């Protein structure tokens, strides 16, 4: 059946009849929605809406992450023929997942960007869907956290990252991918005592009380133990998971703005994400993919897998099995 479908399916992003099920469309052809999900602005019946946020005007080094959502979508075309490996259920068949397209915003009016993104995500949550976001630089996570915290209260955060992003910045009108977590804590969106940052390998004098499993510790104890420690920290609290692709070592994800050596391997990240199954995930994002700095596409491939794992984590506690 898959072979026959592959002969006839094309542009599933627009032509598929429903929001569930695999897609056997040729990987190298057709419109590249995320995992070949249907592009739609109609959230009726949608369980999860995937949004691209092509914004990179808050970076401290190399730009290019505005091209991340497009690259992640293209890379994801490798995956929708089969159920995500190792989960024991097919999130693509069990849940209605839509590609909600990209956020529309005025690129020349940067101060208005956070409120525009916040309103966008709030509309998804108010419609009863969950939100998974493809970035974009890491500053986009602050309005995403605000929208989720307004619905669920102060959040536990699991942050995969080379940097803590807790640099002090009391100018709350500034938009900066290195200070957004400082602001999220100070504004009450995040409870650092029941949050964890994984893969850290840069110094910051004030981590605001976050629990940290740095890269060296993860290499020492292994990804299974790191995930178990993270699950214990967040407990049964509502969780937002943000994955900065620079959590991975540059050998695995060179296409990012602030690469740091000594990071996680793709294998370690995959195991760690899988072992987080059971957390009360409310939403998440994958950010900082900068395609101009990766001629192989490996970074976008990794990010597409991360986003798929986020879908699986969200669905794990809601699946019918």
135 CB burial (10 A radius; 0-12, 13-18, 19+)? buried
Q: Annotated binding residue at 165?
A: yes
Q: Annotated binding residue at 244?
A: yes
Q: Annotated binding residue at 285?
A: no
Residue 303: strand, helix, or coil:
helix
In 3D space, the residue among 318, 317, 297, 313 whose CA is nearest the CA of residue 160 turns out to be: 313
Reply yes or no: is the peptide bond before residue 114 cis, omega within 30 of 0.
Answer: no
Cα torsion 179, 184, 190, 191: sign:
positive
**Could you tell me if 208 and 125 are in contact, meaning their C-beta atoms sit under 8 angstroms apart?**
no
CA distance 304 to 301: 5
Q: Annotated binding residue at 169?
A: no
Place of tokens 């994002």: 285
Q: Which two tokens stand for residue 74?
A: 């293209």
CA distance 78 to 62: 28
Q: Annotated binding residue at 214?
A: no
**Could you tell me if 315 and 89 are in contact, meaning their C-beta atoms sit under 8 angstroms apart?**
yes
**Could you tell me if 256 and 288 are in contact, meaning their C-beta atoms sit under 8 angstroms apart?**
yes
Reply yes or no: is the peptide bond before residue 136 cis, omega within 30 of 0.
Answer: yes
CA atoms within 13 A on the CB side of 134: 37
Q: Annotated binding residue at 161?
A: yes
Binding residues for Mn(2+): 138, 161, 163, 165, 244, 246
Binding residues: 138, 161, 163, 165, 244, 246
């Amino acid at each position: 059946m898959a072979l026959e479908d592959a002969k006839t399916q094309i542009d599933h992003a627009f032509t598929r009849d429903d929001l569930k099920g695999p897609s056997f469309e040729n990987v190298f052809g057709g419109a590249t929605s995320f995992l070949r999900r249907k592009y739609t602005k109609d959230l009726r019946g949608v369980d999860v809406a995937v949004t691209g946020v092509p914004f990179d005007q808050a970076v401290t080094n190399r730009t290019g992450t505005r091209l991340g959502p497009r690259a992640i979508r293209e890379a994801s075309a490798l995956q929708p023929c089969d159920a995500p490996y190792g989960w024991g259920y097919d999130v693509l068949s069990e849940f209605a997942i839509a590609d909600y397209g990209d956020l529309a915003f005025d690129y020349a009016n940067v101060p208005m960007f956070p409120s525009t993104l916040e309103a966008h995500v709030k509309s998804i949550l108010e419609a009863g869907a969950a939100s998974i976001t493809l970035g974009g630089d890491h500053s986009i996570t602050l309005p995403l956290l605000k929208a989720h915290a307004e619905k669920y209260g102060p959040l536990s955060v699991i942050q995969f990252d080379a940097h803590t992003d807790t640099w002090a910045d009391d100018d709350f009108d500034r938009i900066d991918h290195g200070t957004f977590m400082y602001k999220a804590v100070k504004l009450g969106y995040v409870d650092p005592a029941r949050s964890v940052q994984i893969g850290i390998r840069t110094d910051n004098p004030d981590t605001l009380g976050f629990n940290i499993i740095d890269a060296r510790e993860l290499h020492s104890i292994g990804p299974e133990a790191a995930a178990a420690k993270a699950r214990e920290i967040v407990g049964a609290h509502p969780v937002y998971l943000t994955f900065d692709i620079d959590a991975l070592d540059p050998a695995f994800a060179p296409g990012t703005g602030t690469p740091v050596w000594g990071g996680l391997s793709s294998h370690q990240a995959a195991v760690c994400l899988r072992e987080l199954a059971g957390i009360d995930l409310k939403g998440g994002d994958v950010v900082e993919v900068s395609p101009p700095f990766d001629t192989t596409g490996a970074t976008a491939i990794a990010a597409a897998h991360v986003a798929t794992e986020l879908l699986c984590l969200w669905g794990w506690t809601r699946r019918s099995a």
